[in-house]
Amino acid sequence: MITLGNTIPDFEALSTGDKTVKLSDYRNKYLVLYFYPKDNTPGCTQEGQSFRDNIERFAALNTVIVGVSRDTVRVHEGFKCKQEFPFDLLSDADETLCQLFDVIKMKNMYGKQVRGIERSTFLIDPQGVLVREWRKVKVKDHCEEVLQALDELTGSRS
C-alpha cells in the first residue's frame, strides 16, 4: 500500500486508446489518478465531466488526468466517447491498482454488503511521489479541491 510522501511503484495498466500505460509514462508532469466505482453511473459521470470541463486548467498546471475503475477497456471506450473525455481511463479488472492504493472497501448497496471502489483521488508529483490524497470523495466541488491543491504545490493561480 502507498503512503503520502513516498514514491509510487511503477505500474502498468490497460488503457483506452488500445494501449498499455505505465506510471513512468507520466514523469515530469503532475498526475491526478482518480478511482471511481463504475462507468455510466450518475456520480461517476459527473466526476469525469468535472475533470473534462477543467482540462485546460489542469494542463496549464502541467497536470494529466487519468481515471481508473474495474470496468473493461471496451466499456471504458464507450464511456469516454459518450462523455467526450479528453483523458485516458484505465481498466483495473484484476484490482491490482485498487489494492495498491487501498480503495476496495465493503459498501452497503440496497441493504447488502458488497466490495467496491471507494471514490478516491491521488495527486502524484512529477517525480512519482504521492503528494495529496482524497478518500471518500464527494463529487461536488472535488475538482476545485484538486485544482486548489495544485495551485498551492506549483505556486500558480489556475
Q: What is the mean pLDDT of each run of 10 residues along the chain (158 residues)?
A: 92 95 96 97 95 97 97 97 98 96 86 90 97 96 97 80
CATH code, domain with 105: 3.40.30.10
- What residue numbers bound the domain in which 109 lies? 26-151
pTM: 0.94
The number of folded domains in the chain is 1
Does residue 71 sit within a domain? yes
User: What pLDDT is stored for residue 45 in this prediction?
Assistant: 95
User: What pLDDT is stored for residue 85 in this prediction?
Assistant: 98
Does residue 116 sit within a domain? yes
User: What pLDDT is stored for residue 96 in this prediction?
Assistant: 95
Does residue 2 sit within a domain? no
**Euclidean distance between the first and the last CA atom of the chain, given in angstroms as a whole number:** 31
User: What pLDDT is stored for residue 144 in this prediction?
Assistant: 96
Does residue 55 sit within a domain? yes
CA distance 121 to 99: 14
User: What pLDDT is stored for residue 155 in this prediction?
Assistant: 85
User: What pLDDT is stored for residue 157 in this prediction?
Assistant: 60
Does residue 158 sit within a domain? no
Does residue 146 sit within a domain? yes
Does residue 157 sit within a domain? no
**Catalytic residue list:** 44
Does residue 82 sit within a domain? yes
